[in-house]
Structure formats: structure tokens, C-alpha cells
Structure 1
């Protein structure tokens, strides 16, 4: 058991009475002193159970997991945060594996990979397929493989999280955090964890279709600033394909039936022009984003060298 005084265990909850007690007991047994339960207005006594376990309990000012995480990060004083769901699907025993890369300075953000060791029945086939789809989309759009971007078991430095521009209110928060790690070039590690079945009576708050659609839309929306060539290029490509399709239809009608469709022809031309313009805009935006990243990395390197020089001077003094 390590010394985790620099770590705050953050547990967003909403109607988790069936599991929250076991979760808090498990982290207490692992030696964690600072545990913050931030609750979204539970009606089943979740907050009362949490208080009985002697942890700090806050009722969030808004609703949704994303809003809870954003609000909690602004309240935490410890340099490290261990984010975990309150449904007992994640093991407190995996906490050292999650935190070691942070403490050792090897990473600023750690994602627990549920697929490394998943208990039978812990995830439905539908949810498993949806997770695979979303992870594949993330790899294609954002160019990194984090194995399990929807994992609710994460560890990160408080400082790095406060640099993120997080806006999601619901379950899109994990997706936003993964994208922000890529966008800000945050050193990120993926570690294997065990994903357990929910205890009897602990129902999930996740809606596969609704929340899955929100997550995919979040991925696509955030591509606007992280991969603008994909974002604008996909819209431009669809516009061009529609224009070409309409143009082919007009041409076939003209040559086979001698029927002209002037309005459709104009729409086809406009769609193709619009698509080309979006593709060009996407290329230019991608160049700007790349240049911005290079300048940001240069500034960070200079700042790091200045800090090293100042520390060396103070050591000599």
C-alpha cells in the first residue's frame, strides 16, 4: 500500500446506492485519504451512504457526468486525480497501476483499458460493438490508438486537466478528454485493468443508442480544431459527390431523353464548387493547425529550458 496523500479519488455518482458503499470502502482500504463524491441529484440515498463512509460529498450545480467532472476538477487541491465510476465495475486494487505512470513522471494522463481483462457479462454485445466502433472512429479521425477511450477509470494530473477545453455535460466527457490529450500533446499511457460486472441492483445510467450518438457527434465536432482536413474534407467530399451525382443524372436525361434540367444542373454545379471550396479550406486549416502545434511545442521547450536553467542557478547558489 503506497502513500496516496497527493491523490484525490473523484467519484461522479447518480443513483449508485447499490454499489457506492463497496467502492468507497475499497479505496479506503487501498490507503486513499482524499475521496470526493460529486453527485448529480441522486434520489436513492447515494449521498447519505457516501457521508457515512467519511468522504467529502458535493452536490453538483448542474447535471450529467461531464459537468460533474468539470466542476470537481476546479475544486480539487491535490496534484493527481483518480477518476472512477461509482458502480463498482472498476477495482480499487488497480489504482496503483493507474497512478504509477503519473507519479514516475512517465505520463500526465492514464487510461484504464477494460478490454484487457473483462469479466463475462460485464458488457453487453451491443455495448462492446459500440465501443469498438467508437475507438475505430477515434483512431481514424484523431490519429491515435488509446485502446479504450470510453473507459471511466482514468488518472491524470490536475494541472493537465485544467488546460483542457471541456464542454460535454454527459458521457461525452471521456471522449473529450481523449481528444484534448491528442490536441495538447499530453503524454498518455494505456494500462490494463479488470472490468467487473455491476453488482445486483446497480443499473447503468448509459443509454447505448442515445449516448453512443452523442459520443460520435462529439468525436466529429472536435475534429474541427484537431483534424480540420477530415472535418471540412468530409463535408466537402459529400457535397462534391452529391453534385457529381446530380450532374450525371442531368447528362443522362439530356442524352437519352433530350430533357434538360436547368435548375438541377445549377444545383449540381453549386454543390461541386462548394465541395471544392471546403476541401481547400480544410487543407489551409490543417496547415494552420500544424503550424500552431509546432509553435506551441517550441514555446513549451523554451519554457522548459528556462525552468531548468533557473533551477540550476538556484542549486549553485
Structure 2
């Protein structure tokens, strides 16, 4: 499937509409100004776009800190990002999942905007996504991609992404139209509880699984997405994509449903052992059955303990709603103290003659 933007007029109208929504008041929401916001941008060989991306987020979120994690680019990406006003950190790993985990561990903020260095996503949508995070008391707001022809972007250009999306939708109640978008707004407790090692999946799939596995409150906001023409896939790339899709699906099932993956073959081996006429075959099949079943039980228990640990870490971190309430309470107390200092006392309000007597 190929989705190509052939209409600059439609693109400009969508951009103008997005800017109009921001101008109505979403970007200037006073709640946003009170939050400590960090924009996280993983980059690799993005010298042609990184300056525009950084400046876009500086305009959309003037009070935010913008971090660019560069994977040792050789085209001057780090220098361009620094000149545009970003805080640049070099990252040795080229794996997107590793970079996301390092960013989450290094940066402390109330709200995190996870963006992309390619310039495909619209920075002016970030205030609207943050407002949604606050209004819904959510922990993740995804930027569902909308192409300029007003069609929702479905990430099925790659078989691997299609299989991942389909499997996650089957395993969980999936609330997202666009599961694998690279544009997200996250709460602090989401970020700081995201301590699991990589599942060997798409980095965005790991984020979605973390939210769904802990039953977090999530939401989605449609955002414009600029698409480049996709080259026609070769037979070799199709075969490689099919193999990755198969291995990714197997890893996903093993990680999320280990008892099912290992228990069913174990049960099958046990049934075969019960009807086998050969003692040797029976012993072998019983051993296989017991081994597979125990493997499923152990992996399922490891998954349960890991999820419980992540849930405890999630619950220990103050929610964004609680932090805003605490900030409001502190502000009210300070205003009351200031008002009491400016208010004249009862003695000062009495006539001077009465005070002398």
C-alpha cells in the first residue's frame, strides 16, 4: 500500500486548521505553562530535518526542554540540533528501543513528549495532546496519524508492523486506531515505570504493551502526518519482512501468553504419550510434555512477578492530576499568606485616639 501526498493545497489547509486550533487557546493553556515538559527526540542521520523539528517544538512549547539523543550520526545532526536550541546527548546504541529507555532514565519531568527527528509529525499538535493528557488524567496520549487526504494512516506498509498490530489487538482490548505511531505524550509515572527489557519488538509496540498490560488510562488525538513516497518493495525485502513478521509474532506470543504457547504442545505430547504403544516413545513424550508444561508455568510466573513489580513502581509515582492539585493548593496557600500580609490588622484599623487610650 502506498499513500502519497500529491496536493500541497490540502496540506497547507490542514496545517492552517491545526494552527487555528492552537490559536483558540490550547497552546496557551495555563496548565501547560505550569508543567515541567521534556521533548525527547531520538535522531540518527537527520541533519536535513532536525533544526526545523527542534525549532517547531520550541515555538509550540516555549517552556519545554528539548532533548535530542543522537546515535553517533556522521552528518552533523548533533551540531545542527544544538544550534537550534536543543540539549544534545550522544547515544552509542543505534537501537531505537535502547535510546528510548536511556532517555526515560536520564530525563526527569512531569510530562514527556516523544517525537521524531524526521519532521513527519506536526509539533503544533503537542499542546493539544498534553491538554488531553491532563483532561483525561491519562498516562499516554498517542498521536494518531492522519495523511493530508484525510485518511487515517494504517501502519500496514510492512508485514511485521501489520502482524504486531493484529496480535496486540487480539491479546488486549486495543483502544488505538494507530498503534505504532512515533508521536506520544506520556506521564512521569508511565516513563519511570517503563523498566522492562526489550521484548524484541518494535519500540512503539513495547510502549503500547506497557500501557495495556498495566491497564493505564490512554487516549488518542489525530495529528497530521507528512508521508514521503514509498519505494516499491523487492522480493528480497518481502521475504525478509515475512521472516521478521514470523519471529516477531512468535516472540510476542511467548512473552505475553507463555502458558498457552508451551502448555498446548505439552498437553499434546501428553495425549500422544497416553496412546503410544512403545515404552520408549511414551517416556520421551512424557518428558517433553512435563518439560514444556513446566517451562510455560515458570515463564508465566516470571511475567506475573514482573508485571506486579512494574505496577508497584507505577503506583509509587505521583500522578499528574495529584501533582497539579498539590501545585494549586500550594499556590492558594501562598496567595492567602500574601493577602494576610497586605491586609491591615485590627489594631491598625482603629482610630489613633482609641489606640492611645
- 1:188 aligns with 218
- 1:210–1:15 Cα change, 3 Å: farther
Q: How far apart, CA to CA, are the structure 2 residues paired with 1:268 and 1:109?
A: 47
The range that moved more, 50-59 or 211-220, is: 211-220
- Distance across 1 between alignment mates of 2:196 and 2:77: 26
Q: Which moved more, 1:34-43 or 1:162-171?
A: 162-171
Deviation at 1:191, TM superposition (A): 2.4
State which of 231, 238, 242 in structure 1 corresponds to 2:265.
Answer: 238
State yes or no: 1:29 paired with 2:62.
no
> Which of 117, 128, 138 lines up with 2:168 in the alignment?
138
Task: Pick from 54, 59, 74 the counterpart of residue 90 of structure 2.
Answer: 59
Residues 144-200 of structure 1: per-residue CA shift (max 9 Å, x gap)? 443333221111012321012232298633222222212333211122223321489
1:8-157 equivalences in 2 (<5 Å):
8-32=38-62, 33-114=64-145, 116-117=146-147, 126-127=157-158, 129-157=159-187
Partner of 2:190: 160
Using the size of structure 2 for normalisation, the TM-score is 0.63
Cα distance change of structure 1 residues 99 and 284 upon mapping to structure 2, 3 Å threshold:
closer
CA drift at 1:238? 2.1
Select the residue among 272, 281, 286 that pairs with 1:264: 281
Unaligned runs of 5+ in 1: 201-206, 224-229, 251-259
Root-mean-square deviation (CA), in Å?
4.5
TM-superposed CA distance for 1:110, in Å, is: 1.2
> Per-residue deviation at 1:71?
1.7
Higher-Rg member (1/2)? 2
- How far residue 283 of structure 1 moved from its aligned partner, in angstroms, is 12
**Count of residue pairs brought into register by the alignment:** 288
Quick one: structure 1 residues 217 and 57, their matched pair in 2 at CA, closer, same or farther if it must change by over 3 Å?
farther
- Indicate the residue corresponding to 1:220 in structure 2: 253
For residues 244 and 166 of structure 2, the distance between their equivalents in structure 1, rounded to whole angstroms, comes to 17
Task: Tell me the distance in 2 between the aligned counterparts of 1:244 and 1:89.
Answer: 54
Q: Which runs of 5+ in 2 are unaligned?
A: 1-21, 231-239, 334-357
**Aligned with 1:35: secondary structure?**
strand
Which residue in 1 is equivalent to 2:6? Answer: none
Distance 1:158 1:283, change over 3 A: closer
- The worse-fitting range, judged by mean Cα deviation, of 11-20 and 61-70 is 61-70
What per-residue deviation string (whole Å, max 9, x for no partner) do you get for residues 42-85 of structure 1?
11211122122121111125442222222222332331111011
What residue is the counterpart of 1:254 in the other structure?
Answer: none
Q: Give the whole-Å Cα distance in 2 for the aligned partners of 1:19 and 1:53.
A: 11
- What is the alpha-carbon distance in structure 1 between the residues aligned to residue 178 and residue 272 of structure 2? 38
Q: Deviations over 1:92-151 (max 9, x none)?
A: 23223322222325311112223x54769x888542x43332122112234444333322
Using the size of structure 1 for normalisation, the TM-score is 0.70
SS of the residue corresponding to residue 106 of structure 2 reads coil
